[in-house]
Structure 1
Amino acid sequence: MKTLLELSGVTVSFDGFRAINNLSFQIGEPELRAIIGPNGAGKTTFMDIITGKTRPDEGRVVYGEKSESLLKMSESQIARSGIGRKFQKPTVFEAQTVRENLAMALSNPRGPFDVLLYRKTAKGAARIEEIAEEIGLTHELARPSGELSHGQKQWLEIGMLLAQDPRLLLVDEPAAGMTPAEREHTTDLLKRAAQTRAVVVVEHDMEFVRRLGCKVTVLHEGSMLAEGSLDHVTKNQDVIDVYLGR
């Protein structure tokens, strides 16, 4: 498995507080990885750095076969290079149908004229059907997105990211507020997505992380505290002290 993304020696301070402290991390392609850790461990800042929202004070962040530096790229360039991020709260176009939301997200040329001249193509329609099936919303394609349940909106947003065909998908607390059945479907969805790309899931719910059955990275005070299988990291005394013992 080849490395897709690598952070080395990354440090970020906000007003003298080190949110990320000499962090090194790498993920391959394809791979599924869970990131856990107490509040304030640096999980959100970690994702902000990868997507270009926050610039580190030190360190390097390289991506892809050519090991290009993400630190030299703007947020939009990073997104176009194949890095997609799903925030905790779903953001879908509620007045539009599920089909229209997916159509808007398809990885078409994005210039102002391309959007104006957007034509429905047979290939696009087939891709929408494919994604709808993958996220479990085939029967909801004609529904306004605002009528979907919380869990279904989360799946739609994941589907909108998949429509852009990212190589790296960052997903923030997908299980929050979901029913047990929705969480199970979300697990399956993320595991399937990770068969062909890198997927990083930030999550607090240990049961959800266990079901993902992947390598886990534990962050604490902006540094990596432990890494390995969930069983391995949950037996680590430092992890028990700072996170699980609470």
Structure 2
Amino acid sequence: MSALLEVSGVSKSFDGFKAIDNLSFSIGEVELRAVIGPNGAGKTTFMDLVTGKTRPDSGTIRYGSLSRSLTGMSEARIAQAGIGRKFQKPTVFEDQTVVENLVMALKSPRNPFSVLIRRPPQRDRAATLAEQIGLDDALDRRAGELSHGQKQWLEIGMLLAQEPRVLLVDEPAAGMTTAEREKTTQMLVDAARTRAVVVIEHDMDFVRRLNCRVTVLHEGCVLAEGPLDHVCADPRVIDVYLGRDDDA
């Protein structure tokens, strides 16, 4: 499997604190990956580095078949290149309807003339996306009226509308009902059939449902990697993240 995103020897410090320490790992072109680890492990900083919000002190981040360097590229250029990010708190246009949110997010020419002549196809594409994210019966509802879980789905749909090759998702299951979590799991699994999807998550039950390769971060570097049962059996992961259930 060829790597779509490759992080090599990346380090990043903030006021003397090393948030990322010689981090190296890669994500395949079509892959679902979960990234777990204790608070302060470097998970958010990793996403900041990949998306250009933060610059690495050293190391390289390469992306795509030509292995272009993301270092030095702006956040906007990285997004345009095909890397999308969903933050933990859903960010949608609450005064706009579901379909309006999706239409605004669609990857298409951004000029007044193109909007005028492409409006019906855009709504059709938005309706197809709404069906994929389970909101096809809420097209004309204002986003502000949706439940927390539905807003999460809408934001995922808005990112999918951009046709990203890499989708970074931060704690998508937080605050969801059991039914919403099950639907979110399927949504991410489906999305990963055609792109790379990286999920940062603390909920181990949710990670297990994803049934994917897991990377454990600790103190800014990879502590363990592999199937969930494999990393959960690693004594180092137990010590720093999962904890022990010792009777003595």
Match of 1:55 in 2: 55
CA change 1:12–1:211 in 2 (3 A) is same
The number of residues matched between the two structures is: 243
| Offset of residue 117 of structure 1 | 5.2
Match of 1:118 in 2: 115
Match of 1:244 in 2: 242
Match of 1:78 in 2: 78
| TM-score, with length taken from structure 2 | 0.96
Measured against aligned partners, the alpha-carbon deviations of 1:204-229 in whole angstroms (never above 9, x if no partner) come to: 00000000000000000001000000
SS of the counterpart of 2:71?
A: helix
Match of 1:145 among 131, 143, 146: 143
| TM-score, with length taken from structure 1 | 0.97
SS of the counterpart of 1:92?
A: coil
Measured against aligned partners, the alpha-carbon deviations of 1:159-206 in whole angstroms (never above 9, x if no partner) come to: 000000000000000000000000000000000000000000000000
**Percent identity for Structure 1 against Structure 2:** 69
SS of the counterpart of 1:72?
A: coil
Q: In 1, distance between residues paired with 2:9 and 2:82? A: 23
Q: In 2, distance between residues paired with 1:229 and 1:7? A: 20
Q: In 1, distance between residues paired with 2:33 and 2:97? A: 32
Deviating above 3 A after TM superposition, structure 1's stretches of 4 or more consecutive aligned residues are: none
Mapping of residues 68-107 of structure 1, within 5 Å: 68-107=68-107
Aligned residue identity for 2:81: S
* Structure 1 alignment gaps of length 5 or more: none
Q: In 1, distance between residues paired with 2:164 and 2:203? A: 25
Q: In 1, distance between residues paired with 2:41 and 2:199? A: 15
* Structure 2 alignment gaps of length 5 or more: none
Q: In 1, distance between residues paired with 2:112 and 2:3? A: 34
| Offset of residue 2 of structure 1 | 2.0
Match of 1:210 in 2: 208
Match of 1:127 in 2: 125
Match of 1:184 in 2: 182
Q: In 2, distance between residues paired with 1:201 and 1:160? A: 17
| Offset of residue 25 of structure 1 | 1.1
Is 1:26 equivalent to 2:23 in the alignment? no
Aligned residue identity for 1:178: M
SS of the counterpart of 2:176?
A: coil
Measured against aligned partners, the alpha-carbon deviations of 1:64-84 in whole angstroms (never above 9, x if no partner) come to: 011000003111000000000
Aligned residue identity for 2:62: V
